Amino acid sequence: MTLTGFAKEKIEIPSEVKATFENNILTLETKEGKLSRRFWHPRIEIVIEKKEIVISCEMPRKKEKALMGTFTSHIRNMLIGVTEGYRYEMKMVYSHFPIKLVVKENELVIENFLGEKYPRKAKIMGETKVEVKGDQVLLTGSNIEDVGQTAANIERATKIKNFDPRVFQDGVYIINKPGKVT
């Protein structure tokens, strides 16, 4: 089944953002940071006109309309990332052994987790900045995927096995993350 017509999505570019689209790579740049991402599909066209990014497709099928929505969401996330940035808040919880968190290069080292002899490690993705303040862990960055994946890596590194999770609730958990973009 083919949908008739012409589909077009427009995204307004804020005045402080410089946008370029060359060789299927969209680059958004501000004073705070720079993000690049490859967008390509044989039937979908992306063009920068004045202060708008226009995503269009002639005679789109269901999959192409869905992909246009995906491209639009990624671009909006990139715009928010380079203008405001993303921030995740995590909390360190322990009741049996005090946990010690240390940032070393591109890893968060979790020491003394459940009294373990060897430290656990969580990879910090991309340009994400990790800051430990008391029992709070703050993750900030311009790429929502990198910040979110770093938070997931930290949670996964403190996953408890072979203990009752109702008794041993130790770990580092996400308590606040960016809201849904509307």
Q: Which CATH homologous superfamily contains domain 86-176?
A: Ribosomal protein L6 (3.90.930.12)
Architecture of domain 6-83: Alpha-Beta Complex (3.90)
Q: Tens-digit pLDDT profile for the chain (182 aa)?
A: 444 678 999 999 999 999 999 999 999 999 888 999 999 999 999 999 989 999 999 999 999 999 999 999 999 999 999 999 999 999 999 987 899 999 999 999 999 998 989 999 999 999 999 999 999 999 999 999 999 999 999 999 999 888 887 888 889 999 998 864 33
pLDDT of residue 182: 30
Which single residue is written with the structure tokens 């005679």?
Answer: 59
3-state SS class at 55: strand
| Residue 118 burial class via C-beta count within 10 angstroms: exposed 0-12, middle 13-18, buried 19 and up | exposed
Sequence ranges of the chain with CATH classification 3.90.930.12: 6-83, 86-176
